[in-house]
Amino acid sequence: MTVRLAPSILSADFGRLAEQVQEAVEHGADWIHVDVMDGHFVPNITIGPAVTHAVRAATDRTVDVHLMIEAPDRYLEAFVDAGADVVTVHLEACTHLHRTVQRIRELGARAGVAVNPATPVDHLRDIVADLDLLLVMSVNPGFGGQRYIEASTQRLARARALLDAEGRAGALLEVDGGIDEHTAGDAVAAGADVLVAGSAVYRHDAGLVEALRRLRAAAEAGLARRRGGKGAEGR
Ligand code: DX5
Ligand code: ZN
């Protein structure tokens, strides 16, 4: 069991993006998370395949693309061509989710599905066998720097139970939104394997190196609690 740290470039300095990606990797990032927003599914517009390609060119680490867009099928190929290793779509944005997930895999990427805070994680039960990653949103998507929604810890525990019940030990559970040195431990104890963090990495008062060190320490403490069987107990 290991925890992967996935800094979100949404909070990085775009003027020196490659450098910011490399700094994060050098100081403990395992994946790089790319937040794609279309101004329709979420009330913000961010980046597309071109910037994803620039991230791909900056690192050989897993490029984790989170599509917060309507009708994502139209762009799957463009993001895989740009270098995405993992492509995650939102359950709430897909009418034919099974088809979308198969398509991501056909294109050669790992397939993830995200659920917003108000979507029961159990709605993924019939697709979980086809997933490489399940993403539990711990804020309402659209912006970096929001507060972790406390109920997310129980949702992570339920998502972990769902993956275990369906025999999906190899699939990863990711959490995204408001993850920092104070919230990471609970998320990992409840079952998270991949921690996305934007502002807590790129806008930490103590700087990026110290931010990643604290995040790693919190993740390790959470893992020790999970191993000790304490999980989401008491929350
Ligand atoms: C939220 C995005 C997140 C966000 C995380 O809409 O999907 O990845 O950038 O930012 P922080 O870590 O600042 O909450
Ligand atoms: Zn994200």
Q: For the chain, what percent of residues have pLDDT higher than 70?
A: 97
CA of 13 to the centre of ligand 1 (A): 15
Q: What is the pLDDT of residue 232?
A: 55
Question: How does residue 235 score in pLDDT terms, banded at 50, 70 and 90?
Answer: very low
Does residue 230 register a pLDDT over 80? no
Burial of 158 (0-12, 13-18, 19+ CB in 10 A): middle
Is the Cβ–Cβ distance between 35 and 8 less than 8 Å?
Answer: yes
What pLDDT, in 10s, does the model give residues 76-102? 999 999 999 999 999 999 999 999 999
Q: In the numeric block, which tokens belong to residue 7?
A: 């800094």
Ligand 1 atom nearest 178 alpha carbon: 14
* Residue to mutate (ligand 1; options 146, 175, 208; most atoms within 8 A of CB): 146
Question: How does residue 169 score in pLDDT terms, banded at 50, 70 and 90?
Answer: confident
Place of tokens 């050989």: 60
- Ligand 1 neighbourhood includes 177 CB (under 6 angstroms): yes
CA of 137 to the centre of ligand 1 (A): 9
Question: How does residue 231 score in pLDDT terms, banded at 50, 70 and 90?
Answer: low
- Ligand 1 neighbourhood includes 199 CB (under 6 angstroms): yes
Return residues with CB closer than 5 A to ligand 2 (ion): 35, 66, 176
Q: Which residues are annotated as catalytic?
A: 35, 176
Is the Cβ–Cβ distance between 202 and 208 less than 8 Å?
Answer: yes
What pLDDT, in 10s, does the model give residues 16-75? 999 999 999 999 999 999 999 999 999 999 999 999 999 999 999 999 999 999 999 999
What pLDDT, in 10s, does the model give residues 174-228? 999 999 999 999 999 999 999 999 999 999 999 999 999 999 999 999 999 999 9
DSSP 8-state code for residue 185: H
Amino acid identity at 150:
E
- Ligand 1 neighbourhood includes 200 CB (under 6 angstroms): yes
Between CA 52 and CA 162 the distance in angstroms is 31
What pLDDT, in 10s, does the model give residues 96-141? 999 999 999 999 999 999 999 999 999 999 999 999 999 999 999 9
Q: For the chain, what percent of residues have pLDDT higher than 90?
A: 96
